[in-house]
Amino acid sequence: MNYKSHQKEVLDQLKLIVGQKNYEEEKSRMSSYLIDWGNKYQGVSPLILKPVNTQMVSKILSFCNEYKIGVVPQGGNTGLVGGSVPSDSGLEIVISLEKMNKILDIDTSNFTITLEAGCILLNVQEAAKKVDRMFPLSLASEGSCQIGGNLSTNAGGTAVLKYGNTKELVLGIEVVMPNGEIINQLRGLRKDNTGYDIKQLFLGAEGTLGIITKAVLKLFPLPKQKATSLISIPTLSSTIKLFSRLRELSGDNITAIEYMDRACIDMLVENTELEDVFKSKYEHYALIEFSSSSRDQGLQSLLENSLGELNEDGLALDAVISSSESQALNLWRLRETIPEVLRRSEAFLTFDASVPVSLVPEFISQATKVCNEICKLGRVASFGHIGDGNIHFYLLKSKNDDVDNFLSKKSEVTTKIYDIISKLDGSFSAEHGIGVLKKSELRLYKSDSEIKLMEQIKKTLDPNNIMNPGKVL
């Protein structure tokens, strides 16, 4: 039976596989699955499947592989590169993992949590906290993003400096292959050299090789102390010196250092109820956090003394130090609200760049110069995880510019900024993935041998190209 010519019959079979309560076909209730978080990509699908267990996922993929039906795995659908929405063909099936949301086990002695892929990140954090443990992955969308999506995109976030990217937090996974075969690697082992590390193939693959259904993740001691401060910095290059000194002065207890420029602060003040915490305006800011699982370390005093030294050395102009958890949360709100505010702009270009930490100032400086040359009316705003070299760089349309005129510069600006990133031995996709947004750039900036190997892996594991077709490669 051919899918295109017998679509209704094929879809009816898929409905039978999942059962009446586990699919959606009413257009009015499908819209949230068909458009991305940034409202940039919108697709069409005849059916949203919501499997409740791994066996059901296996049956779906086995069936779709037989009839060569494209499937789009979807978690919380919070991605920014179009990787989790179907194309406009009207043929691809969306598989949402939202009903597979059980936490299966927490081993406090092994410091692991075993769970299903549809668990919302915030719920995982809370579950760990209840048993005096911490799951450190933290990002702006943690209230709606799902673990499966985090794993499939190798999510970054604000704690990478101390704990690493998502793939460094994973000990084991269960994954369903395109042909329906279930690969169970749910082992909570820190050491396992029994052949190839298969799980790493699927972490960051954006659902193009299989569907992650379960995972074993690392937990850490729950911090007993935190100390948070927002610092104003004299120059862009000072941020790197500041970071190095803070690592030394804190005994490497620095958990996060987040950069924000003046443009970001201005947009927060203009467009939200948030206020500038300083009386004077500065050009550069760093939000820093110390944390420790020890009760005896005196982080607040350590932070205050460190800032005193940095001020004497001219690396910190001013600082606001939180004296309570609520004050710390308010400082973090400044940083976490920036992406949402910037996305409200009428028109913008955004770059998710990663360069060696030492070259972050050089990247921002060169990228800003390019934008000023090409788009004289544009406004530059940059923020990000400076401790791991990841900067989110925005070029925003000015109030006096025409949208069409601004967007006409997109190709030229993008090419030149990506060239800068490449020359600095960086990555044009630090933590947001490739999806459909950056497919052409992947082939420009990856070597032929790398692309060839990726294509060979894809063809071997997914010969019928049913897994998230049109994404990444």
Quote the CA–CA distance of 93 and 466 in Å, as a whole number. 10
Q: Report helix angle 299-312 to 236-249, nearest 10.
A: 140
Place of tokens 């205050």: 304
Q: Tokens at residue 123, please?
A: 């719920």
CA–CA distance, 422 with 414 (Å, rounded to integer): 12
Residue 264 CB neighbour total at 10 angstroms: 23
Phi, psi of 181 (to 5 degrees): -65, 140
State both tokens at 440. Answer: 């052409």
Cβ proximity of 400 and 378 under 8 Å: no
Strand partners, 288: 229, 257
Hey, what are 403's tokens? Answer: 């949208």
Cα 16-21-25 angle, rounded to 5 deg: 75
Task: Name which of 29, 26, 267, 36 is nearest 144 in CA terms.
Answer: 36
Kind and range of the H or E element at 213? strand 211-218
Tell me the C-alpha distance between 293 and 221, whole Å: 6
Cβ-proximal residues to 45 (8 Å cutoff; 6+ apart), any chain: 30, 33, 34, 72, 86, 90, 92, 93, 94
φ/ψ of 35, rounded to 5, equals -135, 145
Candidates 329, 333, 139, 365; CA nearest to 239 is 365
DSSP string, 195-229: S--THHHHTTSTTSS-EEEEEEEE-EEPPSEEEEE
- SS3 at position 71: strand
Q: In terms of pTM, does the model score above 0.85? A: yes
Q: CA-to-CA distance for 41 and 131, rounded, in angstroms? A: 40
Return d(Cα 304, Cα 309) in angstroms, integer: 9
Q: Please report which residue ranges of 318-387 form alpha helices under DSSP H.
A: 325-343, 360-374
- Cα torsion through 44, 47, 50, 56, rounded to 10: -120
Averages of pLDDT over each 10 residues, the chain, 473 residues? 90 97 95 90 97 98 98 96 96 98 98 98 98 95 96 94 95 98 97 95 98 98 95 94 93 93 96 95 96 85 94 95 94 94 89 97 97 91 95 92 92 96 97 94 95 98 98 96
Q: Which two tokens stand for residue 237?
A: 């290059």
The pLDDT score that the predictor gives to residue 345 is 86
Helices (H) and strands (E) in the chain, counts: 16, 18
DSSP state, residue 37: T
Instruction: For the chain, list the domains and their CATH numbers.
Output: 103-221 (3.30.465.10), 225-341 (3.30.70.2190), 345-431 (3.30.70.2740)
**Rounded Cα–Cα distance for residues 295 and 222 (Å):** 11
Beta bridge partners of 175: 183, 212
- DSSP state string for 296-333: SS-HHHHHHHHHHHHHHTTS-SEEEE-SSHHHHHHHHH
Say if residue 245 is exposed, middle or buried (CB neighbours under 10 Å; 0-12, 13-18, 19+).
middle
Please state, in angstroms and rounded to a whole number, the distance separating the CA atoms of residues 133 and 68. Answer: 44
Tokens matching residue 307 = 């800032």
Q: What is the DSSP letter of 347?
A: S
Indicate the residue type of 112. Answer: T
